[in-house]
Amino acid sequence: MDLRFTAEERAFRAEVRDFIEANLPAETRQRMIEGRVPTKAQTVAWQRILNARGWAVPDWPEEHGGTGWTAVQRYIFREELQQTPAPQPLGFNTNMVGPIIIAFGTEAQKRHFLPRIRNIDDWWCQGFSEPGAGSDLASLKTRAVRDGDHYVVDGQKTWTTYAQNADWIFCLVRTNPQAAKRQEGISFLLIDMRSPGITVRPVITIDGGHEVNEVFFDNVRVPVSNLVGEENRGWDCAKLLLGHERTGAARVGVSKERLRRLKFMAGEAQENGRPLIEQQRIREKIAAIEVELKALEMTVLHVLAGGRRAGESRQADPASSILKLRGSEIAQSITELMMEVAGPYGLAAPGDPDAEGSNAPELMPEWARSAAPLYFNWRKLSIFGGTNEIQRQIMAKAFMGL
């Protein structure tokens, strides 16, 4: 048992760090340090820089553009991106629709879509959740009826992240309402967002941001060639995502970077003429989060190094659920503390400081500006990707036999 990174792994980390330092646009980085979401243009530009270097999709098989890195190297790469911070890979492209097409797609689908996914020539969004199908995803109702060479899709998706940016949406749709089991009548369809009959309606979240949307389908015609896998076997595609390596859900690098930011903020904020970070109570809260984050990081490394069974089968180890649970809770506790540290200026809601005519930059300190929006926005972390209660349920049923 040797729990240290090897010399090769440390050299790899240095190589990745140097590349990011040399190539990440300063403006993008600063925006992220401030706790704001990168723009579409910034995310796309960065992904193309990585793609040109051959690092766009480290998790994919090499024949489709993957890097052939070990699990530990992929972790280091992701952690360096997170810690810089640089825009995260667009997960809908690289972690979701890409791997599904690789696993279940036709040769034609792979040839056409995969290079475009890697380079974000197409921005993808995910059409899974519906108003009546959240944690209970298999109850989804959007239906697709076969009509010659097309499916005709009717229904509604919701919580669709960045549908406003998207060129394509991958959807779970019901193709056989009579199936004995609900999961057996579902298919996986790729749908062009420019198709007639699609309407996108923004859902503005409590932080004031526009990340999620409702997407309505009204007699949308989708070529049968856009079916991935077999008709009525779309649930297999969805399950592939669940079985995917889940150490990313721990978001260790993101939390490390946010902790650094939190400490910076606590050095700027003052009370009685002294920086807040001199207060014992604040220091103890920060130290407590650092302890939790260290424990989480060790669990992630344990999974990565294959010292446990998670790599082989999700069923054998509750690590995925634990990582999701702790990763989200820790990230949320950091934003909660950011809100506390920001104090009165945390209450001002000046909107996007880059927007035309915004007076936010003159009116308030930069460090306090995004504390509240991030606190509000990151409540999503314990809701999406299987709520934390669902994770507890999975652990109790699948791993403890309760």
Partner 1 sequence: MDFDLTEEQRLLQSNLRRLLADHYAFNRRANYQTEAPGWSRAMWGRYAELGLLGLPFAEEDGGFGGGPVETMLVAEALGEVLALEPWLSTVVLGGGLLRHGADAALRQRMVPAIAAGEALLAFAQAEPQSRYSLSDITTTARRDGDGWVLEGRKSVVLHGDTADWLLVTARSAGARHDRGGIGVFLLRGDAPGVLRQGYAMVDGQRGAEITLSAARAEAVLGNAEDGLALVERVVDEAIAALAAEAVGTMSALHAMTLDYLKTRKQFGAPIGSFQVLQHRASDMMVALEQARSMAMYATMMLEEPAAARRAALSAVKVQIGRSARLIGQQAVQMHGGIGIATEYAAGHAFKRLAAIDTTFGDADHHLRALAAEVSAAA
Task: Please pick, from the candidates 15, 149, 218, 284, the single residue that binds partner 1 as defined by CB under 8 A.
Answer: 284
292 contributes a contact to partner 1 by CB under 8 A: yes
Which residues of 268-313 form beta strands (DSSP E)? 270-271, 274-275
Verify binding: residue 5, partner 1, rule CB under 8 A.
yes
Angle at which helices 7-23 and 71-83 cross, to 10°: 40
Query: From residue 297 to residue 326, what is the string marking binding to partner 1 with x (rule CB under 8 A)?
Result: -xx-xx-xxxxx---------xx-xx--xx
First-residue to last-residue Cα distance in the chain: 33
- Interacting residues of 250 by C-beta distance below 8 A, sequence separation 6+: 296, 297, 299, 300, 323, 324, 326, 327
Q: Which CB sits closer to partner 1, 25 or 267?
A: 267
Nearer to partner 1, 190 or 266 (CB): 266
Report, in Å, the least distance between residue 400 CB and partner 1.
5
Active-site annotation holder among 9, 34, 214, 245 = 245
As a whole number of angstroms, the distance between CA 360 and CA 369 comes to: 8
Q: Is 401 near partner 1 (CB under 8 A)?
A: yes
Q: Which residue's structure tokens are 């492209």?
A: 93
Residue 11 burial by CB count (10 A; 0-12/13-18/19+): exposed, middle or buried?
A: exposed
Would you say 203 or 295 has its CB closer to partner 1? 295
CA distances from 87 to 49, 80, 82, 121, 205 (A): 12, 11, 8, 17, 21
Q: How far is the CB of 352 from partner 1 (least distance, A)?
A: 27
Q: 306 vs 361, which CB is nearer to partner 1?
A: 306
Running DSSP on this structure, what letter comes out for residue 347? Answer: G
Contact pattern for partner 1 over residues 69 through 108, marking x by CB under 8 A: ---x------------------------------------
Burial class (CB in 10 A: 0-12, 13-18, 19+), 17: middle
For partner 1, the closer of residues 40 and 263 by Cβ is: 263
DSSP letter at 371? H
Tell me if 7 contacts partner 1 by CB under 8 A: no
**Which of 22, 108, 287, 355: binder of partner 1 (CB under 8 A)?**
287
**Burial letters for 73-105: b for 16+ Cβ neighbours within 10 Å, e otherwise?**
bbbbbbbbbbbbbbbbbbbbbbbbbbbbbbebb
Q: Is the dihedral of CA 204, 210, 211, 215 positive or negative?
A: positive
Euclidean distance between CA atoms 402 and 346, whole angstroms: 44
Question: Is residue 393 near partner 1 by the rule CB under 8 A?
Answer: yes
Q: How far apart are CA 82 and CA 71, in angstroms?
A: 16
Return the range that interacts with partner 1 (CB under 8 A); candidates 89-97, 117-125, 262-270, 347-355. 262-270
Q: Is 33 in the site for partner 1 (CB under 8 A)?
A: no
Mark whether 290 is an active-site residue: no
What number of chain residues touch partner 1 (CB under 8 A)?
54
Min dist CB 260 to partner 1, Å, is 8
* Maximal C-alpha separation, the chain: 74
Measured from the CB atom, is 10 or 111 closer to partner 1? 10
Give the binding site for partner 1 (CB under 8 A).
Answer: 1-6, 9, 72, 260, 263-264, 266-268, 275, 277, 280, 283-284, 286-288, 290-292, 294-296, 298-299, 301-302, 304-308, 318-319, 321-322, 325-326, 389, 391-393, 395-397, 399-402
Catalytic residues: 245
